Amino acid sequence: MSDSDALNSVRHIFVLMLENRSFDHMFALSGIPGIHAATSADTNRFDGVTYNFQGGAPDRMPSDPNHGFCNVLTQLCGERADCSQSSPYPARDNSGYVANYATTTVRSGLLRRKRPLPAADRGKVMLGVDMPAGSPALHALATEYALCDEWYSSLPGPTWPNRFFVHGASSDGLADAPSLPDIIKWEALKGFTYPNGSIFDRLGSGNYRLYQHKTGPVSGRIPQVAALKGISYFDVRNLDRFERDLSSGYGARYTFIEPAYGDIAFDTYRHGSSQHPMDGLAAGDRLIARVYGAIRNSPLWENSLLIITHDEHGGFYDSGIPPRPAPPPGDGTGAHQNPHGFDFSEYGVRVPAVVVSPWIPRGGVDHRIYDHASVLATVERLFRYRPLTDRDAGAEDLLHLLNGPLRPETDCPRELPEPAELGEAFDDDEEIGAFPEEPIEDGSNLQAFLFVAQSAHREMVGDMAGLTRFQPVQTKGAAQFYLEEVVPQLEAGGEAGIPA
């Protein structure tokens, strides 16, 4: 069969985006031949100690590695990097990962107060995962289908702006996590707004579906995509419906899937399925296996393309130097909209990306340069939609990987290996001490997810709840109390409103 047979056959694109892992951290020690990966010769030096890249990554990190814009710039360019005017970057040598991680804090003692990261833990951002043991489903898919070893996050920053890029090839000038003024702007505009709209606007109603894995703490069961103007919380289905939905009559061209983010309220990220560094890999790997298995064993398998990636690197070391330049979105947004003067002409750090389809030959390693806008470029070029911005217009797509012929049923595994729980069990009775009264920091993930929850709450009950606008919540305990009351109501209302 020809390439055109494959392109004519693929009618459904699925994307599962996980959290906060770099390519080298996940794949450098995977044993997959031919990849561009770190070796023990890759080092960071800090406080008189040299740290080599090597194996032995813990299943859960003792603290959350930094990944805000200024932190990423330090990681890429060293301790003297100045993030006040950083486009283009200064010289990039990946020398600041350990130095930046050393500035994080851990909670210890009876009251779980914040203390400096112990010196013995500083080098943990330089350690790679044992993929066959820690994330065997993702490892199996990388060996069975195609692994992209030059896929970069869309900007050197955290979750929210990078996830905005996968939905619209722009972050409307946002280079960091959203602040309260950003959220007030969203409130006025009825959600985060792209100058040229999102991929969901391009596709139109009925041509896309959204899912989230609804498990674990309530604060982690709020979909980020519902912050977008035009997307309601109630548009996002519980992943428990996924297998049933795929079994018959599934017409969506594009499907985006979010994990459970774990305990966002108290910054532990426990009991999610996103592969967050403080939560471990196993639950996320099971989510990968579940999503793949649902598609693989559905009537859609021969017409499907599945992309699995991580939104950003999460502060973990990567040896890749982000290529330059990246095409700025060119949608009227840019350096004047963020305090760093960042003009979006640079990519962020490299992240894992695996592409799955029965039209992809086994075991390929793709060295083309991608970023999250490549998801949009693939959707747009396959289904003949106009690009949203200059970023997706110039992005490499994935269609060349569909070079067939169609692999026989016996050549595509129906099930994937299960991960072992490598870390110790969580102590759910651990004293959290000062956590509930701690103020919510401006620019925190929790603040932005509260916006989504309040918007959905207002949509569901209106003025009866007294929610006429976004109301900032002051403490983590108050946020947890609110979400524990409201999120189950939202979930019940959402399921009641979605047709079977």
Return the DSSP state at 438.
S
pLDDT of residue 392: 98
Nearest to 131 by CA among 415, 292, 354: 354
Instruction: Judge whether residue 471 has pLDDT over 80.
Output: no
Q: How far apart are CA 313 and CA 447, in angstroms?
A: 22
- The 10 Å Cβ neighbour count of residue 409 is 11
Q: How far apart are CA 443 and CA 448, in angstroms?
A: 8
54 in a structural domain = no
Q: Is 426 helix (H, G, I), strand (E, B) or coil?
A: coil
* Residue 348 CB contacts under 8 Å (≥ 6 apart), including other chains: 72, 152, 153, 154, 155, 156, 157, 162, 312, 313, 322, 371
Q: How far apart are CA 179 and CA 442, in angstroms?
A: 6
Nearest to 457 by CA among 445, 468, 447: 468
Residue 12: strand pairing partners: 304
CA distances from 35 to 20, 38, 150, 321, 346 (A): 20, 9, 9, 15, 23
Q: How far apart are CA 235 and CA 229, in angstroms?
A: 12
Pairing of strands 304-310, 127-128: unpaired
Q: 466 falls in which pLDDT band (50, 70, 90)?
A: low
- The 10 Å Cβ neighbour count of residue 420 is 12
Nearest to 164 by CA among 228, 72, 213, 87: 228
pLDDT of residue 2: 46
For 338-396, write each residue's pLDDT tens digit. Answer: 999 999 999 999 999 999 999 999 989 999 999 999 999 999 999 999 999 999 999 99
Q: 1 falls in which pLDDT band (50, 70, 90)?
A: very low
HSE-CB for 293 with a 13 A CA cutoff: 12
207 in a structural domain = yes
Residue 494: strand pairing partners: none
Q: 431 falls in which pLDDT band (50, 70, 90)?
A: very low
Instruction: Judge whether residue 109 has pLDDT over 70.
Output: no
359 in a structural domain = yes
pLDDT of residue 499: 64
230 in a structural domain = yes
Average confidence (pLDDT) over 301-322: 97
99 in a structural domain = no
* Residue 327 CB contacts under 8 Å (≥ 6 apart), including other chains: 345, 390, 391, 393, 394, 395
Nearest to 360 by CA among 135, 147, 152: 147
Q: How far apart are CA 354 and CA 54, in angstroms?
A: 23
Instruction: Judge whether residue 229 has pLDDT over 60.
Output: yes
112 in a structural domain = no
* Residue 8 CB contacts under 8 Å (≥ 6 apart), including other chains: none
Q: Is 338 helix (H, G, I), strand (E, B) or coil?
A: coil
178 in a structural domain = yes
Chain centroid offset of residue 92 CA: 24
For 5-51, write each residue's pLDDT tens digit. Answer: 888 899 999 999 999 999 999 999 999 999 999 999 999 999 999 99
pLDDT of residue 279: 94
For 266-305, write each residue's pLDDT tens digit. Answer: 889 999 999 999 999 999 999 999 999 999 999 999 999 9
Instruction: Judge whether residue 434 has pLDDT over 70.
Output: no
CB 37 within 8 A of CB 24: yes
341 in a structural domain = yes
Across the chain, mean pLDDT equals 92
CB 328 within 8 A of CB 114: no
Torsion of CA 403, 390, 315, 192, to 10 degrees: -110
Pairing of strands 304-310, 353-356: antiparallel
CATH number at 384 reads 3.40.720.10
* Residue 85 CB contacts under 8 Å (≥ 6 apart), including other chains: 340, 341
CB 320 within 8 A of CB 36: yes
pLDDT of residue 494: 73
| Structural domains of the chain, count | 1
> Which three-class secondary structure string do you get for 201-267?
HHHCCCCEEEEECCCCCHHHCCCHHHHECCCCHHHEEEHHHHHHHHHCCCCCCEEEEECCCCCCCCC
For 161-220, write each residue's pLDDT tens digit. Answer: 999 999 999 999 999 999 999 999 999 999 999 999 999 999 999 999 999 999 999 999
Q: How far apart are CA 236 and CA 211, in angstroms?
A: 5
Q: Whole domain around residue 263: which residue ranges?
A: 3-47+130-411
- The most confident of the ranges 266-270, 458-462, 494-498 is 266-270
Q: How far apart are CA 387 and CA 385, in angstroms?
A: 6
Q: 487 falls in which pLDDT band (50, 70, 90)?
A: very high
pLDDT of residue 428: 53
* Least confident interval from 228-232, 334-338, 363-367, 463-467: 463-467
Instruction: Judge whether residue 96 has pLDDT over 70.
Output: yes
